[in-house]
Structure 1
Amino acid sequence: MFMEKGYVHIYTGNGKGKTTAALGLALRAVCAGKKVYIGQFVKGMKYSEVKAEEYLPNFKIEQLGRSCFIDRVPEQEDIDAARSGLERCTEIISKGEYDVIILDEINIALYFKLFEVENVLKMLEKKAPNIEIILTGRYAPKELIEIADLVTEMKEIKHYYTKGVMARTGIEN
Structure 2
Amino acid sequence: MGYVHVYTGNGKGKTTAALGLSLRAVCAGKRVFFGQFIKGMEYSELKCTEFMNNFEIEQFGRRCFIYEAPTEEDITAFKLFNVEDALAAIKDRSENVEVIITGRYAPEEIISIADLVTEMKEIKHYYSKGIEAREGIEF
Report if TM-score (shorter chain) is over 0.5: yes
Matched, 1:161 2:116: no
Question: Which residue number corresponds to residue 54 of structure 1?
Answer: 50
Unaligned runs of 5+ in 1: 84-113
- Deviation readout 1:6-49 (Å, 9 max, x if unpaired): 10000001110000000000000101110000000011101000
**Mapping 1:61-76, distance limit 5 Å:** 61-70=57-66, 73-76=69-72
- SS of structure 2 residue aligned to 1:46: coil
Higher relative contact order structure (alpha carbons within 8 Å, sequence separation ≥ 6): 2
- SS of structure 2 residue aligned to 1:140: coil
Of 79, 85, 90, 1:124 maps to: 90
Q: Residue type of the partner of 1:166? A: E
In 2 relative to 1, CA 148–172 (structure 1 residues): closer, same or farther, beyond 3 Å?
Answer: same
Question: Which residue number corresponds to residue 42 of structure 1?
Answer: 38
Q: Residue type of the partner of 2:136? A: G
- Tell me the CA shift for residue 66 of structure 1: 1.1
Identity value in percent: 66
d(CA) in 1 for partners of 2:117, 2:67 = 28
* Cα RMSD for the two superposed structures: 1.2
On the 8 A contact 1:10/1:148 being kept in 2, the answer is yes
**Mapping 1:10-159, distance limit 5 Å:** 10-70=6-66, 73-83=69-79, 114-159=80-125
Question: Normalised by the size of structure 2, how large is the TM-score?
Answer: 0.95
Unaligned runs of 5+ in 2: none
d(CA) in 1 for partners of 2:119, 2:126 = 20
- SS of structure 1 residue aligned to 2:48: helix
On the 8 A contact 1:15/1:154 being kept in 2, the answer is yes
- Tell me the CA shift for residue 132 of structure 1: 0.5
| More off after superposition, 142-151 vs 123-132 | 123-132
d(CA) in 2 for partners of 1:127, 1:60 = 18
- Tell me the CA shift for residue 73 of structure 1: 4.7
- SS of structure 1 residue aligned to 2:86: helix
On the 8 A contact 1:66/1:77 being kept in 2, the answer is no
- SS of structure 2 residue aligned to 1:152: strand
Question: Which residue number corresponds to residue 106 of structure 1?
Answer: none
